[in-house]
Amino acid sequence: MSDTPRLPVVVIPNVGQSVLANIKDGQTTRVWPPVVDSDRLIDRLKAPILKMMLFRRDAGFSDAVSDVVREVLEPLATRTDGCMRTPVTPVPFAASYEAADEGGKNRMGRVFAANILADAVGGENVRVFAYNFILPPEENAVLLDAFLDTVAAGAGTERVNLLCLGFGSAVLQAYVAAFGAKNRIANAVCVAPAFEGSPVVSALLEKRLNTSELPQLLTRFAGQKTAESAKGLIAMLPANVMESTARTALDTALDTALEHSAAFWAFVPPADYPAFAGARLSAGQVRYLREKTDRFRADAAQFQTKAAETEAAGARFFAVYGAGAPILPVFDVPACDSDGVVPCPDAGAACSPVPPERIWRMDGVRHDALAHDGDVMALAGRIFNGEISSNIDGMNSPGEEEKLI
């Protein structure tokens, strides 16, 4: 055990993991995550599906599904300039894991294996940054800077540790670009970081879908219960209706909440960004969104340089990836090693700005499971406690050897 004093650990959740609320006239109404009544939604589709089965054609079924998708995503709806149609406020997490009541601990536990991290670094040191994941990363970086200042002041420390989950790595990129010179970071552990984007987003923009895998997509994004409820319905769909329904639903999701979100564009692989942005973000009010997405791209391009400057002042960056799985087959993308969503760097390769010796590849652990994996959280705790500084110093905890490639 290192004698280094334990520092606060600030967790930056993945996209979709912060609770968002509409506050009006003193009343707080949760809008995300939505409360989806899968039985009611299925009931709404019964009449369209009966007409579809009778006429053996779409008969309005894809439009009915599109309406459901729009209803679910409406709280996150964005205008063409990238601003939300209805402003929402992130609901703060408890002051710390230790200070949280059972409900607060459970809320943290839905984001990551909070109890395991708390056991490693002390529950009083585990804090979670709630943020509006639809906003551009650089706007959230400003809020993160203020949050880190508050945490550091409260703990009486100059530095804090960061645990960045998925999209949290994009917020980290923007933070380092704008505030890295404050030398606030001690260690940053990035779990499933999409520093190079995800081919899933390119596939979405080009509508490259394998509609035969639609049930898997439902399970992943709508939940097991909704997927089970829809299984029989999907089995009845003729192939041409399945195709039109999937593509209409995707068009609706892109139009309602995704395509005009700066956060969504942060996931576009850098090599694909110029062509997509040139085709989709060049006319009318959408050019204001282009300014935001270009700003993030400039920050991301400087991330390695800015991170090196931060490391020269004592910070360290680490990364943990899931490995051993193809990208979800519902998306038509080139084969690559991944956690199902984010590609994994080859063994021995660097991932800007993390050197190979600070990258862990966890075999068989998929994207959604990484932050809930006990070995991953135990590893992060050991890094934060100063017990381990690389993947080559022979200090892996029990269980990691089986997963580490």
- Position 259 scores a pLDDT of 92
Residue 400, pLDDT above cutoff 60: no
264 with 201: CB under 8 angstroms? yes
In the numeric block, which tokens belong to residue 339? Answer: 């956690």
Rounded mean pLDDT of 372-390? 96
State the chain's maximal CA–CA distance in angstroms: 73
- Position 405 scores a pLDDT of 41
Query: Using N-to-C axis directions, what is the helix angle for 224-235 and 214-222, rounded to 10°?
Result: 160
Q: Mind listing the pLDDT tens digit for each residue in 216-270?
A: 555 555 555 555 655 666 666 677 777 888 888 889 999 999 999 999 999 999 9
Lowest mean pLDDT among 33-47, 135-149, 341-355: 33-47
- DSSP character string of 111-152: TS-HHHHHHHH-GGGEEE----TTS-HHHHHHHHHHHHHHHH
As a whole number of angstroms, the distance between CA 153 and CA 260 comes to: 37
Q: Output the CA–CA distances (angstroms, integers) from residue 203 to 9, 32, 210, 289, in the order listed.
A: 35, 25, 10, 21
- Phi/psi of residue 128, nearest 5 degrees: -125, 130
* Burial of 145 from C-beta contacts in 10 A (0-12 / 13-18 / 19+): middle
- Position 174 scores a pLDDT of 95
Rounded mean pLDDT of 169-189? 96
- Position 395 scores a pLDDT of 38
Average pLDDT, the chain: 87
As a whole number of angstroms, the distance between CA 120 and CA 135 comes to: 32
In the numeric block, which tokens belong to residue 211? Answer: 């509609």
Q: How many other CB atoms sit within 10 Å of the CB of residue 37?
A: 11
Rounded mean pLDDT of 58-74? 85
As a whole number of angstroms, the distance between CA 294 and CA 101 comes to: 42
Q: Which residues pair with 10 in a beta bridge?
A: 127, 162
- Position 183 scores a pLDDT of 95
Rounded mean pLDDT of 49-69? 80
- pTM for this prediction: 0.89
370 with 112: CB under 8 angstroms? no
Q: Please, which pLDDT band fits residue 365 given cuts at 50, 70 and 90?
A: very high
E strand residue ranges, 315-366: 316-323, 359-363
Higher-scoring residue by pLDDT: 145, 82: 145
254 with 48: CB under 8 angstroms? no
Q: Output the CA–CA distances (angstroms, integers) from residue 91 to 31, 155, 262, 375, in the order listed.
A: 11, 22, 21, 29
Per the rule left: phi > 0, alpha: psi between -120 and 50, beta: everything else, 70 is: alpha
- Position 394 scores a pLDDT of 43
Q: Please, which pLDDT band fits residue 213 given cuts at 50, 70 and 90?
A: low
SS3 24: strand
Rounded mean pLDDT of 193-215? 85
- Position 275 scores a pLDDT of 96
As a whole number of angstroms, the distance between CA 320 and CA 198 comes to: 16
53 with 257: CB under 8 angstroms? no
As a whole number of angstroms, the distance between CA 132 and CA 341 comes to: 21
Residue 175, pLDDT above cutoff 80: yes
In whole angstroms, how large is the CA radius of gyration of the chain? Answer: 22
In the numeric block, which tokens belong to residue 267? Answer: 């996931």
Who contacts 394 (Cβ-Cβ below 8 Å, separation ≥6)?
A: none
In the numeric block, which tokens belong to residue 272? Answer: 């694909």
Q: Mind listing the pLDDT tens digit for each residue in 26-36?
A: 888 898 888 77
